[in-house]
Chains A and B, each alone.
Chain A
């Protein structure tokens, strides 16, 4: 039997808005991925530790309060330092257009802003995991 692909999902930082990340987690689980939901208040260090422990194929975070650049930069740096640069990072949430570009340039593989439909997310995640 083919093992389901594992996606590690969590909020990083102090923002507690979890409406979107809960919904996307459910969509991914319903689509057959194994979703490990870490909840709120994770640190980049904690996320990296969880990636190692859980051997995740993909990492997903969400942001609402404007903290996305700070934490993505830090998380990507830690992933590189731990030789985990093959683990792709996807981001969801409230991200202004200029920052979407900044996040992509930084190495975030996909950014899903409010109003992204379920199929778009599932399709992109499948592509990223297959690549």
Chain B
């Protein structure tokens, strides 16, 4: 719609005005903030409750990790990409697997063929994992493995065996397994969390992985609760954090029930948050997250080790503000979001690429994302002191307000029986859908402005943008590979380990399955075969027509 001349001139006369003064999560902001908006002085960074940062010196001590999500096609292609990005200034790995891998399906499964290798890399065998990490020293480069249970157990087992082959002891591994049954795929939507594996066993196996890693890999992060995916489903910052912490509490209660001490595992739990475009609110949100977590750990779960109370936050800047229209605008958005992540004190950042509205990022777009972070780190001067916005009237007030709203919502969820109960009853699902419709409504009405979409939109815009393309025979090759692999290995040994696993799940359902999964992986059982064995043992079938 072309704005008429009259409207245009009226706008000049009146001066432009914002549609309203509310944050994205609906907090009404005041004309200005002053000293009495903040009750108490916050302890310094590095001191409980860590509102101002988990370390005293923050980025003076070390910069955040530049951890761009990567992975596509075959493990060999992804291995090349990882080396390319490390050469271009990435400082940690963030490996995304394709959806068949994250749903426990081998590439030759009838449901998998169209999705193999598309939004992450396809890994089905131990050999695949060796290829993926070829030339990467696993005790020197920290890696995040983006995969959900029960398949996280299989991928973790592969990772341990690759490390062993490299001569790296399990105790030396540094990194994170995402390992959350509910948030890891596409946020806490009911069908995505229940369609390919029963929910309670998936959570049980997540706990098996955590228990195993705590005992064998003390530097490894055992779970990464994913508020980012919660947020990307369409909810606001308050829901993002409240859901994530209530969900974290569920895992904590289960680990405690196994007889583990809170201080043994809480320091190895971490979060992966979103940073949306609402700059001040997002900075305040990250600060509030740390304060809420510290108090939850100490006051509710009795943690004594300060490390248990440090909320470690990885960030991926939100994709929701990214537009397909005028895609170069996204470079500006991503820079603002990344700056908020840093001013909020996060530990690692993935800056979402400007071509997000079209496909996986091109190499050019990924390098630009890394450069964005380097400009902020080395040029903008914001890393010279910890929590530069600490003491800002508005940031402190927003931090308090977000904390209060999150705590209220957490109480609502706990009163309803906790996060899992709310997820199973689809209360969460309904909340998400309401939030989605509301956000869409705000974009429709112009209450929330998106430049290039509902303001300054160019009709018939011809977008000139390089698009990432997969090799045309990639899927076919992967399917061929897995068929050959299954034929060429020692079938008897793989079969035996799968039978052992089946037997253990059937007859010792409360025992830890990780060792049995590790053995199956070691004997070349595939990801799909191990997943199917678990499904069978739980009398679960994947339904499809």
> A residues touching B (Cβ–Cβ < 8 Å)?
13-19, 22-23, 26-27, 39-43, 45-46, 49, 64-67, 70-71, 74, 94-98, 113-115, 117-118
Contact = CB atoms under 8 A, between A and B. Distances in A.
A67 B232 CA distance: 20
Contacts of A40: 191-192, 195
B323 A115 contact: yes
Contact of B357 (A27, A41, A94): A94
B437 interface: yes
Interface in B435-470: 436-437, 440, 444, 450, 452-454, 463, 465, 467, 470
A65 B118 contact: yes
B461 to A, nearest CB: 10
B161 to A, nearest CB: 26
A92 B487 CA distance: 40
Interface stretch (B109-117, B249-257, B273-281, B522-530): B109-117
Contacts of A96: 358-359, 467
22 contacts: A14-B99, A14-B100, A14-B114, A15-B119, A16-B185, A16-B189, A22-B433, A26-B440, A41-B191, A41-B195, A65-B118, A66-B359, A66-B360, A67-B114, A67-B115, A70-B113, A94-B358, A97-B465, A114-B324, A114-B357, A115-B452, A117-B454
A40 to B, nearest CB: 5
B325 A16 contact: no
Given A14-B103, A14-B111, A43-B544, A115 B453 contact: yes
> Which of B114, B233, B357, B433 lies at the interface centre, i.e. has the most chain A CB atoms within 10 A of its CB?
B114
Contacts of B452: 115
Which has the most chain B C-beta neighbours within 10 Å: A16, A27, A41, A97?
A: A16
Given A19-B232, A43-B544, A67-B114, 20 more contacts: A14-B100, A14-B111, A17-B186, A18-B192, A22-B433, A22-B436, A23-B436, A23-B440, A27-B440, A40-B195, A41-B191, A41-B544, A70-B113, A94-B359, A96-B467, A97-B463, A98-B467, A115-B324, A115-B325, A118-B444
Nearest to A17: B186
A67 B544 contact: no
B115 A15 contact: yes
- Counting from the closest, the 3 A-B pairs by CB-CB distance are A46-B545, A16-B192, A70-B114
A41 B114 CA distance: 12
Contacts, number: 98
A43 B359 CA distance: 22
Contact of A18 (B186, B325, B545): B186
Contacts of B149: none
B324 A113 contact: yes
Interface residues on B, range: 35 or more
B168 to A, nearest CB: 33
A12 to B, nearest CB: 8
A114 B111 contact: no
B234 interface: yes
A43 B440 contact: no
A71 B545 contact: no
Contacts of A64: 119
A34 B166 CA distance: 59
A114 B545 contact: no
A40 B186 CA distance: 12
Contacts of A117: 444, 454
B166 to A, nearest CB: 32
A131 B324 CA distance: 29
A96 B119 CA distance: 14
A43 B545 contact: yes
Interface in B411-438: 433, 436-437
B352 to A, nearest CB: 13
A43 B111 contact: yes
A40 B31 CA distance: 45
Nearest to A98: B467
A13 B103 CA distance: 12
A66 B496 CA distance: 38
B192 to A, nearest CB: 4
Contacts of B186: 16-18
Contacts of B111: 14, 41, 43
Nearest to B120: A65
Contacts of B189: 16, 18
Given A19-B436, A23-B437, A65-B119, A71 B114 contact: yes
A40 B232 CA distance: 17
B436 A66 contact: no
A113 B358 CA distance: 9
A16 B436 contact: no
Contacts of A94: 324, 357-359
A120 B460 CA distance: 13
Nearest to B358: A96
Contact of B437 (A26, A46, A114): A26
Contacts of A22: 433, 436-437
Interface string B79-113: 00000000000000000000110010100000111
Most buried by A among B99, B436, B444, B545: B545
A19 B186 CA distance: 10
Contact of B119 (A27, A66, A113, A114): A66
Q: Which of A45, A98, A117 has the most CB of B within 10 A?
A: A117
Nearest to A68: B114
A49 B114 CA distance: 19
Given A66-B360, A94-B359, A115-B324, A19 B191 contact: no
A16 B544 contact: no
A95 B463 CA distance: 13
Name, among A15, A64, A71, the residue most crowded by chain B CB atoms within 10 Å (CB to CB).
A15
Contacts of B437: 22-23, 26
